[in-house]
Amino acid sequence: MSVSLQMASRTLQKKRLDLEDPADVEGPKLKRPRLAQLPSPSLTPCLQAPIESPVVEAKNQSICSIGPYVLLEATEGAQCYWAVHRSSEEQYTCKVFPMKRYQELFAPYARLPPHEHIGRIEEIITGEQKVYMVFPKSHGDMHSHVRLSKRLPEAEAAPLFRQMAAAVAHCHSHGVILRDLKLRKFVFADKQRNKLVLENLEDSCVLRGEDDLLTDKHGCPAYVGPEILNSKHSYSGRAADIWSLGVVLYTMLVGRYPFQDAEPAALFSKIRRGTYSIPESLSPKAKCLIRCLLRKNPAERLSASEILLHPWLNSSNMATISPSTGPVDSVSLEQVVPDFEKYKDVDFL
């Protein structure tokens, strides 16, 4: 049955997301591997090829109806489907989760006031074993956009990154840590690809106070901060999100990750050292912002709200940023933003 967001927010308990779900043989599974574990066949978690999945609760690939929606083919991930509203014929994205995760998944939405750059839930439909969260249809994600473009000129990247930073600042100011920030998390809300939204909050955690110290090692290897790899204790969740934003910005402007290697042990060694190079073709202000985010010491990084005040994102300076036409530093093909990479099994920590 359909459930009102307003009614649901009064009954939900706000608690951390559970990374490990028992097997659910009747529907798609949602798992997020920890950094110390890589899923078979040992692909980087954030860069794995899309998982093929049958239509929800349907055999022989038949079309499935949920409430007023018809679920069509699966998109990226085993729990995500295109959906069409029967009456309006509007297209949506439907995410399917085990019913036992309903309260955990909805907790961040109950905490956050609406924001133009954070994806909203159109409707929630619950069944006996599953919950269906309906979101507006997106028009592609930033990871695919950067791969197609190779790299973005600063004039295009700056307004898009500002929207990303605004979404993160809104979450941080209301006690929500995103934890698994990456390019693929941001999707275009319009066909012109001018407006970005944070697609969902399913990997985030809700803080119970001002203390943002976390202990779990959660995230995508290419975007994880050195303190998460080095620390055996707690780390600042907000600062870890900022490091991930730095990786996002670098990748948008350069066309490759600041830290990348075919071997996970070597990749994490590079991240721990925190040493990277910035192409000379970038403007001084862009270089400055990257260095302010990718600082090895978490306490020295800008906060999300401070990012929005940086001169590179100042609208009065946008006209002075000209797209770079010079060559980016020479890199091998494997250093270009990949769709997925094969990693061998190793112990990371």
**Residue 25: CB partners within 8 Å, gap ≥ 6?**
none
- What amino acid occupies position 222? A
Residue type, 206: V
184, 49 Cβ separation under 8 angstroms: no
Helix, strand, coil percentages (3-state) for the chain, rounded to 5, are: 35, 15, 50
Residue 180 known to be catalytic? yes
Distance CA 37, CA 229 (A): 13
Phi and psi torsions of 152, nearest 5°: -105, 140
Pair 167, 115: CB distance under 8 Å: yes
At residue 64, the 3 state secondary structure works out as: strand
d(CA 213, CA 210): 9
Q: Tell me the three state secondary structure of residue 2.
A: strand
- Supply 53's token pair: 């999945």
| Residue in 305, 317, 183, 240 with CA at minimum distance from that of residue 35 | 240
- Crossing angle between the packed helical segments 284-293 and 237-254, to the nearest 10 degrees: 150
Residue 206 sits at φ, ψ, to 5 deg, of: -100, 125
Q: Which of 141, 180, 203, 241 is catalytic?
A: 180
- Catalytic positions: 180
